[in-house]
Amino acid sequence: MDETSVSLTLLLFFVIFVSYITTRQFKNSKLISILLLLLFFFCFQVFNTIHLFSLYFYYEASLIPILFIILKWGSYPERSTSSIIIVSYTLLFGAPLFIIIISLYYRHNTWILLLFFDSKVSGIYRIFLFLCFAVKLPIYGLHYWLPMAHVEAPTFGSVILARLLLKLGGVGLLRILPLLDLAFLKSILLSYLILLGVFSLLICCSQSDFKRLIAYSSVSHIIVIPFLILRDNILSVQSLIFIIVFHGLRAAILFFMVGLLYTLFSSRQLIVIRGLLLVSPLLRFFLILSFFYTMSAPPFPSYLAEVYFIFSSYILSSYMLLFYMPFIFLRIVYNLNWLTSILIGTFTTSNYRSTKLSYVSCLPLCLILIFSLFWLLILSNI
């Protein structure tokens, strides 16, 4: 196990545990437990395998539990359409990878990834290899399945999507780095990633659905992973690990907040969710912490990931700082928008349900903050 495997295995244990706690309210809790165990097994194999075919097989199989979760516990009738779109994206971009790994096996007579360091694939195969795993990140342009999946999925399904399944793409790209021609990919992808990274933030600024806003913010935040893949040095790999781990924790806090706010207001629209300052002091406290965690403000450990990314991206290209300045500005804009709207907007009792939140419902948020503190203590000793 390398540094990537250890970090993501710890994240995997934590995600499955927190998801299990939040699903005790459902009637079919045994079925959910089975699906979580399956998901744990598939993701564990992806994070720790050195076998190319196993990487492909478990990478594709990890989609089965989340599809069942969306279809079974999704709250909207469009969940079947969302599931079809997810399967279509995965199969469309996964089929070329299967052909490539079969050809590599016949060339080298082995599946071991470590033996492919001198086996650069040529031509359009490089792009297909990149796209197969980039669709799970996802980068902008391959992201259309993600907002639909987040909107249709229950809260614990959105947490699993944001904290596990989106990380499989980054791990897959790390594992197949020996097969990629990074200079070729950099020449065709760098400008694309810079421009659409900023454009995805503009879309976040125009969202009125809180859950969809978080989904698009994941797309805009996770697009930094291809930058670090293209750089491919020790600093960029460490930065990639930090971003993968802390993006999962950041997104999980926000999705749990959406679930709690939905129980109070029966809506995810920011124009309806207003006046939390007068409703729940405890939820108000967690909302402010979520805002600072999302903004990667110190002393939250996500701040370290941002610093690592700045240094790594500057080494990749000095023009990256020009991308980073509007990136930070637009991120402040849309985060301040949802914070001020929810916290100090005009409160109306017509949209408020008198449901009292128990302290147990806030337990996942506390566990995420404790786990973040645990990571901060580890990083302070490195």
Describe the crossing of helices 234-265 and 210-222 by its angle, rounded to 10 degrees: 180
Of 154, 180, 206, which residue sits at a domain end? 180
Q: Is residue 377 part of a domain?
A: yes
Q: What are the Cα distances from residue 374, in Å, to 145, 228, 371, 378?
A: 33, 25, 5, 6
Whether residue 108 sits in one domain with residue 11: yes
Q: How many domains does the chain have?
A: 2
pLDDT tens for 219-278 read: 888 888 887 887 777 777 778 888 888 877 888 888 888 888 887 777 788 888 877 777
Q: Are 11 and 160 in contact (CB under 8 A)?
A: no
Residue 11 lies in a domain: yes
Q: Are residues 168 and 60 in the same domain?
A: yes
360 and 249 inside one domain: yes
Task: List 269's β-bridge partners, or say none.
Answer: 209
For residue 99, the enclosing domain spans 1-180
Predicted confidence at residue 180, as pLDDT, reads: 77
Residues with Cβ within 8 Å of 162's Cβ and at least 6 positions away in sequence, in order, are 150, 214, 218, 247, 248, 251, 252, 255
Q: In the 8-state DSSP scheme, what is residue 161?
A: I
Residue with tokens 């809260």: 155
Query: What whole-number distance in Å separates Cα of residue 226 and Cα of residue 127?
Result: 13
Residues 256 and 344 in one domain: yes
pLDDT of 53 > 80? The answer is yes
pLDDT of residue 357: 62
How confident is the model at residue 29, as a pLDDT? Answer: 73
Beta-carbon contacts of 47 under 8 Å, excluding residues fewer than 6 positions away, are 4, 5, 8, 9, 12, 171
pLDDT value at 315 more than 80:
no
Which of 133, 154, 180 corresponds to the end of one domain?
180
Do residues 222 and 137 make contact, with C-beta atoms less than 8 angstroms apart? yes
First to last CA, the chain: 18
Q: Is the domain of 100 the same as that of 241?
A: no
Nearest Cα residue to 253 out of 367, 139, 329, 94: 367
Strands (E), the chain: none
CA 279 to each of CA 80, 276, 336, 363: distance values in angstroms, whole numbers, following the listed order? 35, 5, 20, 19
Burial 45-67 (b: 16+ CB within 10 A, else e): bbbbbebbeebbbbbbbbbebbb
Question: Could you give the count of Cα atoms lying within 13 Å of 342 in the half-sphere of its Cβ?
Answer: 31
Domain-located, residue 51: yes
Can you say whether residue 123 is alpha, beta or left, with left for phi > 0 and alpha for psi between -120 and 50 degrees?
left
- Model confidence over 104-126: pLDDT tens digits? 777 777 777 766 655 556 667 77
- Residue 193 lies inside a defined structural domain of this protein: no
Q: What is the pTM of this model?
A: 0.85
- Asked whether residue 7 falls in the same domain as residue 95, the answer is yes
Report if residue 222 sits inside a domain. Answer: no
Same domain, 274 and 364: yes
Which segments of 206-233 does DSSP mark as H helices, in order? 210-222, 224-231
CA distance 354 to 263: 9
Q: 20 and 131 in one domain?
A: yes
From residue 141, how far is each of 134, 146, 172, 180 by CA, in Å?
A: 10, 11, 19, 21
Sign of CA dihedral 129, 133, 138, 139: negative
pLDDT band at 41 (very low <50, low <70, confident <90, very high): very high
Please tell me the distance from the alpha carbon of residue 144 to that of residue 140, in angstroms, as a whole number: 8
pLDDT beyond 80 at 67: yes
Residue in 261, 246, 270, 288 with CA at minimum distance from that of residue 353: 261
Tell me if 356 is assigned to some domain. yes
Determine whether 106 is exposed, middle or buried from the number of CB atoms within 10 Å of its CB (0-12, 13-18, 19+): exposed
Q: Identify whether residues 264 and 173 lie together within a single domain.
A: no
Same domain, 175 and 297: no
Specify whether 31 is located in the same domain as 133: yes
Domain boundary among 155, 180, 205: 180
Q: State whether 43 and 155 are in the same domain.
A: yes
> Does some domain include residue 207?
no
Does 224 reside within a domain?
A: no
What is the three-class DSSP state of 75? Answer: coil
For the cut 70, the answer to whether the pLDDT of residue 345 exceeds it is no
CA-closest candidate to residue 74, choices 26, 5, 131 = 26
The average confidence (pLDDT) of the chain is 79
